[in-house]
Amino acid sequence: MINILANDGISNSGVEALQKSGFNIITTNVAQEQLESYINKENISVILVRSATTVRKELIDKCPGLKIIGRGGVGMDNIDVDYARSKNIHVINTPAASSGSVAELVFAHLYSGVRFLHESNRAMPLEGDSNFKKLKKSYAKGVELRGKTIGIIGFGRIGRETAKIALGVGMNVLAYDKFLESADIKLEFMGNKSIDFNIKISKFEDLLQKSDFISLHVPAQKDYVIDKNELSKMKDGVGIINAARGGVINEIELVSALESGKVSFAGLDTFENEPKPEIQLLMNSKLSLTPHIGAATNEAQDRIGLELAEQISNLLK
C-alpha cells in the first residue's frame, strides 16, 4: 500500500479519487519540525503541500523513501524543486486549477477599493446609525472600473484569467511579461459563445505610466518588482493589487505612497511577513486585506485535489 501525506489538507474529491486508485491517504497536519520522523516512520511515499509546509534539501536528504512531492496550486517556492528532481523525485503542481479563483479575488479587491467597501464595512457597524449622512458623503466619490486601464504584471495563467474578467467588465488591458511578445485569450460566455482577443505585451515603463490599476501576477523574486522608483512612475491615485506573493512589492514604500495619496488604495492577499503581516498594514484604512486566500474556493480546491490524484495515479501506476 502506498502512503500519501496531504500535510496542508486536500479536498474530499481528491481523497476519494486517491482511495479509489488504491492509495492510503493521510490528512494529519504534521508540524514542520516533526515531518522527517513522521515520513520515515509511516513509510510515506508522496507528500502533498500547499503554501504552509516547506520541502527543502535537508528534508529530502533525510527521507529517502519519498517518490513524489506535490504542490496544490502554482508557486513552488516552498520546495527545492531542482534538488528533488536531481534525486529522481517527481515534483508536481496544479498550475491551472486555481487561476480563475485568484483572478476573481483580484476583482473583489478592485471593486472594494473603488467603492470603499473595505472602509465602509469597518465604519458602518460603528457609526452607521449615528453618522449615516457623514459616511454617505465620505464614500460618495467612487469610480467605475469600466473604461479604465488595468496593467497586469506577469501574464501567465492567472494574469490571463484576470485579463478575461477585465475585458468582460469593459476595461482596457495592458500586460507585461518578460517571456512573451503577445498572448491569445479566449473569453468564454454561457451558451457556448466566445470571443478571441490578442493582447500585445507592453513595455514595463508604459504599463506603469498608463495604468489606472495595477495587478501583480509574478512568482516570488529576489528583488521587489514594485519599489519606490516604480511607484514614482505610476499615475497619481493608482490602485494596486498583490495576490501573487509577499515580497514582490516593497510594503514600506507602498504605505508611504498610500499616505501621500500617490496610491489611492491597495488590495493585499499576500505579505512579506506571513503569517504575521506588519501591523501598519493591518491598521491602514486604505488597504483591502485578505489572509492569502486567492486559491481558497471550493471549486479550485476540488480541481486541485482531482488533478493531483490523476497525476499521482499516472506516475505510480
Report the catalytic residues.
245, 274, 292
C-alpha cell at 167: 475585458
> Rounded to an integer, what is the distance from CA 13 to the centroid of its chain?
22
CA distance 53 to 69: 11
Query: Cell numbers 534525486 correspond to what residue?
Result: 87
Contacts of 28-31 spanning 24+ positions with Cβ under 8 A: 30/5
Main-chain phi, psi angles of 31, to 5 degrees: -60, 145
Is it true that the peptide bond before 219 is cis, omega within 30 degrees of 0?
no
Measured CA to CA, the distance from residue 181 to residue 185 in angstroms comes to 14
Indicate the helix (H) or strand (E) that contains 106. Answer: helix 99-114
Grid cell locating 94:
496544479
CB-CB contact of 155 with 217 (8 Å): yes
Cβ-proximal residues to 62 (8 Å cutoff; 6+ apart), any chain: 36, 40
Angle, vertex CA 226, rays to CA 274 and CA 55, nearest 5 = 35
